[in-house]
Amino acid sequence: MKLQSRSREEPEINVISLVDVLLVLVLFLMVSTTFMRETKISLQLPQAAVEVPAAVPDDKLEIMITQAGSYLVNGRELINSERRTLRTAIERLVGERRDLPVFIRADAAATHQSVVTAMDVAGQLGFVKLNIATVTPPEAQAQ
């Protein structure tokens, strides 16, 4: 009896469905993963009031920003407008106290970056009571 040898076919693995599943997994991971986490500032916006605001406390930290972008901390001008100079001046002035209210006063023509830098430095030092002081123009007071 003569046995014939059958030709053996190599088994095939269907790769197309595997690729489809992997692409769906990659897509899911890309959508569900956060690549960039932005920092957020928690703000409590004031409400407009007709009443005269309370006086600014004597025990405070006041950061003034001039039109040129230079900083004054409690009335003393800093030697330059760098972030580390502002940080050092605040640390020397208040020491370890972080419960003081911080008043930021900026000239109307001061750059937005200067104001944000002052807020960022105060926030990094641990101050949580940030106030942005405004001045009502004389023509608005007459109305």
Q: What is the pLDDT of residues 28-86, one digit of tens each?
A: 988 887 766 666 666 666 665 555 555 545 688 899 998 888 999 998 899 998 999 99
Cα–Cα distance between 86 and 16 in angstroms, integer? 61
Within a domain: residue 44? no
Q: Is 27 or 15 the better-scoring residue by pLDDT?
A: 27
Within a domain: residue 100? yes
CATH of the domain at 68: 3.30.420.270
Cα–Cα distance between 25 and 29 in angstroms, integer? 6
pLDDT of amino acid 103? 92
Domain count, the chain: 1
88 near 125, Cβ under 8 Å? Answer: no
DSSP 100: S
87 near 63, Cβ under 8 Å? Answer: no
Give residue 103's domain range.
61-141
Cα–Cα distance between 127 and 121 in angstroms, integer? 9
Within a domain: residue 113? yes
